[in-house]
Amino acid sequence: MSHEMLGIDGRVVYTMPALPSDVLRLREFEHFFRDYRGPTFSVQTKDGWSWSSSSGHPEFTATFSTCAELDAVIDDSTEGALSRMFLEGNLDVQGELFVLLSVAEYVLRHASGLSGNLIHAIRRASLHWMKGLRISHRSSAAPWRLNSCLASLPVDFFQPWLGPSLGHFCARFRNPREALEDAQQHAIKQVCSDLKLEEHDRFLDMNCGWGSVLIYATGEYGVRGQGMAFSGQQAATILDRLRQRNLHRRCTVECRNSAEPLTIGSRFEKIVDIGLFDQVAPLCFRSYLEYASDALTPGGILLMHRTTRRPGASGKGGEVPHLESSGCGELPLLSSELQVAESFGYQILNVEDLSEDYRLTLRHWIERIRCCETPLAETPKRQFRSWFFCLLETAAKLDVGEIQLQQLRLRRATAS
């Protein structure tokens, strides 16, 4: 790359030779992306360096404030450097965000060809454009780690992209063109059907979010419901929705701090846990099932959604995007999850793959966020960016086949 110096009359006086680091960076980008055939994207800095995947107009651009900041990320061996830069405003992204998924898919598929510090940094950059900073609450006391920062955000943050039902779970699409709201309602009905809910069942939603499943089960099946919310915002919203439907006498909501150990004083015939934002940490799955067993009546049913690593995908690559990578962020194989469940005496009634439904759900959410930036502008910038790119990373890993989502339906043993 070169820098043209202009005279007073606007004519080029001379051209300064490119710095060696500029040339090296350019060559490495060209080498690694030589087989990329996706939509055009570019990487640039505000002080003059740029690279584009083709000669066409870029549909997506990542902009660093300076070359020094880009080189600092390249030289930094810690994978959180680029995330911090993005959240601090020293890296911005513009354009068609779904192009980012194509770039990430290419990087993930060609990771075996990476060589040299710069290429490793390119890989980190592509992954961390999607990760953002993992914001979660650390606690050794909790049986699983929950994202209390996300739960504490106001309902106005979620309404524009989750939709009227405020469903923060995987929708069930009967065809790819089905509206998100219809697919969400289909998912709620399917969950209740799979649980074989009956009137007067004691029903616990362990991750009730904004109450969509809890409200439907209480209203349509007449269950005695209890929800576990992880912020005052969620609990207040659910109670208001219950009162509007005159269901508040049949349903209670408990607000539990994620740092507190889980204690459930009652027993329930049916338990559901399908929220996608507060995933159970895989390495803590035994503790989770132990608590669930204490809450289930003998013969009771537990229905849950689990994100697992596909066979053949690396354990490190299959990290849970929205969990701290502090020993609980690495995804297991489905087979190991089922072994753990069986070791606790659970009967495995059904396992259903929902990966394609999850992919479509995420794309609906991403598109809605992209189209409604103004209503979400009041959300703290770091939190907004972190969760938006968490969705993007998860979608990319689904596209490339690194992770999958299953629905597990388990029955607790009738005798200890």
pLDDT single digits (tens) 49-83: 899 998 888 888 888 888 888 777 655 544 456 66
* Pairing, β 50-52 against β 41-45: antiparallel
**Across residues 253-263, what is the average pLDDT?**
62
CA distance linking residue 61 with residue 114, whole number of Å? 22
Indicate the DSSP class of residue 19.
P
CA distance linking residue 256 with residue 143, whole number of Å? 13
- Bridge partner list, 319: 330
For residue 99, give both structure tokens: 């192009």
The yes-or-no verdict on residue 205 having pLDDT over 80 is yes
Nearest residue to 291 via CA among 327, 322, 254, 265: 265
Per-residue pLDDT tens digits for 336-377: 999 999 998 899 999 999 999 999 999 899 888 877 755 555
Q: Which amino acid is at 263?
A: T
For residue 185, give both structure tokens: 């309602």
Higher pLDDT, 106 or 320: 106
CA distance linking residue 165 with residue 365, whole number of Å? 13
Nearest residue to 286 via CA among 144, 80, 87: 144
Whole-number mean pLDDT of the chain? 76
Per-residue pLDDT tens digits for 98-113: 777 777 777 766 655 4
The yes-or-no verdict on residue 384 having pLDDT over 50 is yes
Percent of the chain with pLDDT over 90: 31
Helix (H, G, I), strand (E, B) or coil at 6: strand
The yes-or-no verdict on residue 15 having pLDDT over 70 is no
First to last CA, the chain: 71
- Bridge partner list, 252: 226
Most confident of 139-143, 144-148, 162-166, 393-397: 162-166
State how far the alpha carbon of 374 is from the alpha carbons of 59, 109, 129, in Å.
21, 35, 21
Cβ neighbours of residue 161 under 8 Å, at least 6 residues apart?
365, 368, 369, 372, 376
pLDDT (0 to 100) of residue 341:
93
- Of 95-99, 194-198, 251-255, 345-349, the one with minimum mean pLDDT is 95-99
| pTM for this entry | 0.71
Give the neighbor-by-neighbor strand order of the sheet with 224-229.
251-255, 224-229, 202-205, 268-273, 296-309, 403-411, 347-353
pLDDT (0 to 100) of residue 3:
46
The yes-or-no verdict on residue 143 having pLDDT over 60 is no
Could you tell me if 209 and 183 are in contact, meaning their C-beta atoms sit under 8 angstroms apart? Answer: no
> What does the DSSP assignment read for 78-121?
STTHHHHHHHTTSEEEEE-THHHHHHHHHHHHTGGG--HHHHHH
Could you tell me if 272 and 204 are in contact, meaning their C-beta atoms sit under 8 angstroms apart? Answer: yes
CATH: 3.20.20.450, 3.30.1360.200, 3.40.50.150, 3.50.50.60. Which one for 148-411? 3.40.50.150
Could you tell me if 160 and 375 are in contact, meaning their C-beta atoms sit under 8 angstroms apart? Answer: yes
pLDDT (0 to 100) of residue 34:
85
State how far the alpha carbon of 386 is from the alpha carbons of 157, 274, 288, 297, 382, in Å.
13, 22, 26, 39, 6
Q: Which fold has domain 3-131?
A: Nonspecific Lipid-transfer Protein; Chain A (3.30.1050)
CA distance linking residue 367 with residue 372, whole number of Å? 9
Could you tell me if 179 and 288 are in contact, meaning their C-beta atoms sit under 8 angstroms apart? Answer: no
Could you tell me if 227 and 214 are in contact, meaning their C-beta atoms sit under 8 angstroms apart? Answer: yes
Percent of the chain with pLDDT over 70: 68
Higher pLDDT, 393 or 335: 335
CA distance linking residue 345 with residue 351, whole number of Å? 16
CA distance linking residue 205 with residue 183, whole number of Å? 20
For residue 270, give both structure tokens: 């049916």
The full length of the chain comes to 416
Using H for helix, E for strand and C for coil, what is the string for 69-84?
Answer: HHHHHHHCCCCCHHHH
Q: Per-residue confidence at 314, pLDDT binned at 50, 70, 90?
A: low
For residue 203, give both structure tokens: 């029903």
In terms of phi and psi (left: phi > 0; alpha: psi -120 to 50; beta: otherwise), the region of 379 is beta
CA distance linking residue 78 with residue 45, whole number of Å? 21
Could you tell me if 100 and 60 are in contact, meaning their C-beta atoms sit under 8 angstroms apart? Answer: yes
Task: Break the chain into its structural domains and give their ranges.
Answer: 3-131, 148-411
pLDDT (0 to 100) of residue 233:
86
In terms of phi and psi (left: phi > 0; alpha: psi -120 to 50; beta: otherwise), the region of 163 is left
